[in-house]
Chain A
């Protein structure tokens, strides 16, 4: 039965992706809609990788900096060395992995609030390096004039001149990232992750190497978030060290918390819901931070499962009202069920 239900979910997701491929046509190439959609893709990737680290360990506040490292690497290689985009793109992700290894190898000695403070402190040191060293990082003013994406393969040259190709690239990146993370989460390794998250001492007594699994999780997350950072750098064309302070971090936390952390759908719902909310809040931009803060407090206080929990609640209510009443028949003899 559950296999069939999963089949339905897969079919639904496939249909949604196919539908997303036609968004540029449906929207008539509207730059605003496509830009918003691409932003949603970017944040979904960021939140999804953040949540992936969260599967095995506490909250890592260095994750945003790891993404920034990829973004800066990609931008600098393109500006200073004139590398083609694809080379920058893959190098960025390798740089992110390379920078995440020492950070987390040091940080996993600790846990709880010490862990997030240690990761935050290391991230902040890196961010200060970007601010302090004007050459090559561009200093406080940021790094501008990052070349737009040009994909040149033998016999094929694609220049990203409008918002449409960026939309497609973001979509492909999101699908690949999410599919891979989902596959890992559902595999045996993902099961090990869950054991570690619920009780790391028990996990290591079962023969699961906790440190290695945690490192594996952050390496996978950093690998994908490096792609995301590189994509962001070339899409926006500008990097500011200010963004990598609290700004991205707050948004990531907000989306993940509002969406929910139990399943892979939480981040997707959180980001999408907030972007829709944001469109309604256009006149109140001045108070937007207070709104975010209020939402954060209310969700954590009254509904810590987030939107995901809401969907689950509605589904269970639906089932209770309209579903077949199986519980009531359980104690009856077979012929009367």
Chain B
């Protein structure tokens, strides 16, 4: 019993950290541009494929794959933002439907480029470690510090740098930030680049633990959106809270009930949260401007 609990906790922490990476970018993008990007999941999927391409297929090391995934997805995010979302800021529904279109295009691109069968990335460090009398894949244990480091780096970027402060200011009050001399256009690009880069990183970190197909994008988008809407669309701390809530729900439900109940539980939580607190757990009700 104790062994299972430890397993559940380790899995929960890993999933939660991955989900923090997955969804905090979405929150910042929404904050700065009022755009809900449904194609976020396909960026994660493409990030995972890039790691597969670099690390598994061409056998260059994993960190290189991670960096390629981050930079590649940041670039793709900026391209999508410039081409498609830029004229549709503040038109949330229109931009959302357009991002559905983007998701399907990227899905078909991945299908043509990588095929439809499941791809597997070998573990970064093969073998097992005994923790507290429980055997655990060292692969999972090495992913936790990497994910934590990336999340902390993003946090430090937002809290401690000038650009980070400017992004947060834009997210809180666009006009005020503009008056204070923040270049809103540049902030939009920066938010999109960092957010999508994090999505790529999440994909790169997920890659060794799952089978990668072009069709995982929708479920990943679901996850990201559930987290963002549970936590509160404008609150980064809320998003982290939502990520931990969803991560541990998934880990616990998978261990005790079975994986097929996960999405139903999460949806039920989401519906309850939206009903009682439409702005999310830590969010405020978004005013239409």
Contacts and interface: CB of A to CB of B under 8 A. Distances in A.
Interface string B101-134: 1111101110110000000000000000000000
A114 B274 contact: yes
A122 interface: yes
Interface string B233-247: 000000000000000
B53 interface: no
Given A117-B229, A289-B107, A297 B102 contact: yes
Contacts of B60: none
A124 B223 CA distance: 13
B13 interface: no
A151 interface: no
A297 B94 CA distance: 9
Interface residues of A, number: 36
Contact of A121 (B102, B103, B111, B270): B270
Interface string A294-337: 11110011001000000000000000000000000000000000
A292 B104 contact: yes
A109 B101 contact: no
A275 interface: no
A105 B261 CA distance: 26
A106 B270 CA distance: 13
A132 B108 contact: no
Instruction: With a 10 A CB-CB cut-off, give which of A129, A250, A257, A293 has the most chain B CB atoms.
Output: A293
A154 interface: no
Interface in B250-289: 260-261, 263-264, 267-268, 270-271, 274-275, 278-279, 286, 288
A37 to B, nearest CB: 27
Contact of B93 (A59, A286, A293): A59
Given A125-B264, A293-B101, A118 B108 contact: no
Contact of A296 (B101, B275, B286): B101
A297 B278 contact: no
Contacts, number: 100
A287 interface: yes
A128 B101 contact: no
A116 interface: yes
A112 B91 CA distance: 10
A125 B267 contact: yes
A86 B173 CA distance: 58
Given A132-B261, A246-B218, A300-B97, A117 B104 contact: no
The B interface is mostly helix, strand or loop, or mixed, namely helix
B148 interface: no
B154 interface: no
Contact of A106 (B218, B263, B275): B275
Contacts of B111: 286
A129 B84 CA distance: 36
A123 to B, nearest CB: 9
Contacts of B101: 292-297, 300
Interface residues of B, number: 39
B141 interface: no
Interface in B64-118: 84, 87-88, 92-94, 96-98, 100-105, 107-109, 111-112
Contacts of A129: 264
A151 to B, nearest CB: 38
A287 B108 contact: yes
B36 interface: yes
B263 A124 contact: yes
B100 A250 contact: yes
B261 to A, nearest CB: 7
A122 B93 contact: no
A290 interface: yes
B225 interface: yes
Nearest to A125: B267
A249 B197 CA distance: 30
Given A128-B263, A253-B97, 20 more contacts: A112-B286, A113-B96, A114-B229, A114-B274, A114-B278, A114-B279, A118-B271, A121-B226, A121-B274, A122-B271, A125-B271, A132-B260, A286-B111, A289-B108, A290-B104, A293-B103, A293-B108, A296-B101, A300-B97, A301-B88
A-B interface, 4 closest residue pairs, ranked by CB to CB distance from nearest: A293-B101, A293-B104, A290-B108, A296-B101
